[in-house]
Structure 1
Amino acid sequence: MATWAYLGLQDGASPLMEQLIFFHDHIMFIIILIITFVGYMLSTVLLNSFINRFMLEHQTIEIIWTSIPAIILVFIALPSLRLLYLIDEVNNPAMTLKTIGHQWYWSYEYSDFMNIEFDSYMTPTKDLDSSGFRLLDVDNRTVLPMNTQIRIIISAADVIHSWTVPALGVKADAIPGRLNQASFLINRPGLFFGQCSEICGANHSFMPIVIESVSTNSFLNWISSSSD
């Protein structure tokens, strides 16, 4: 794959992440190009030894370079405020997942089912098989059904952590003594990797997150086998 393909965001696996990618690629990127072009034009004018006095003191040009940034800010504000609202909204979740950050692992509890809870540790490199991902795979993956609205409740047992899965567009702090929540819907099967995104101590970089998205039937089978 070409090197430039790795410079963007991860492929979205949720409607929210797809909208965040669209906002980044089709709004922010275009606005950055416009700002770069305007900056180039201004620097060219200011560095030109034959500076046109019209460009520096005329009322019309002052109105233009005041109104254009204001319009740009409006184009940024409207979609970004909408996305911030959607990120914070929890809309009729079908199931709830509880996760607690520890130094240095995650524990999970399926609150809607009986006796399903486990700890998730990073798999040591010496124990990885040929299909594993170094520093990203875990011994117990978090299995979730696709096309299901999921609420995740996040806390911590010791210091501040951050539960982050970029492909799902989810990043929420895990704070001792406080419950934070986020909501997401996974729209395709697969493995989605994340990591703690808050510096939480010596082994901060060794507490990955692995979400395994499966069909509803496969999830129910997994629940049945896990509760036995």
Structure 2
Amino acid sequence: MTKLSVNINKIATIRNARGGELPSVTEAAVKLQDFGAQGITIHPRPDERHITRKDVYELKPLVHTEFNIEGNPHRPFIDMVLEVKPEQVTLVPDADNAITSNAGWNCEIHLGFLRNVIAEFKDAGIRTSVFLDPNPAMVKYAAETGADRIELYTEAYAKNYLQNKKKALQPYLETALEAEKYGLGVNAGHDLSLENLKYFADNIPNLLEVSIGHALISEALYMGLENTVQAYLKRLAKW
């Protein structure tokens, strides 16, 4: 079964909009795991617009499933991850001022840099994943970085799902099949939702994990957090 990791950035965004500690990022992480989430994802950015460095350290002892920290591997980010030692680090090439992640790595151009960074994480026993656009030709270079997994950037799939879901899925399927040839695990995330997740999960081979935040937290406003997590798990279940 594909694991569900819940990105809790949106919880921190709501908290920071008002100040104080409500809603609590740490309590949300505990509750989400109690409700069945198989991982907690955070994406701390340098401006701390949502997840803060303090959050990162406070979450570590509370995440008993899988802790996944995403981010652009600037030196302060690298040092923080090496100190916290999550189960997984996902490398994302987002600009500091980006509203949200908007592109995967060009692993061919950044091959040397990514090799060096990933070697540091692997020496510390941290599983590594690189954020990748659905492009089979890029998988070879992703493998050469030494990464354990790729994370497919699924915004294009979500955007085109209602128009033609088979066509929207095709480049992701081709990329996942290429990853399988190189022994890379496949994660996925960005704009996956209750509406479009099942078709994606049912048709992408070797899909080990999805990281979902914005849609899940938004849907929880109407359905409640526990019901929403359970609904996502049902979408991922293989009967």
**Larger CA Rg, structure 1 vs 2:** 1
TM-score normalised by the chain length of structure 1: 0.22
Compare the two structures and name the one with the higher helix fraction: 2
TM-score normalised by the chain length of structure 2: 0.22
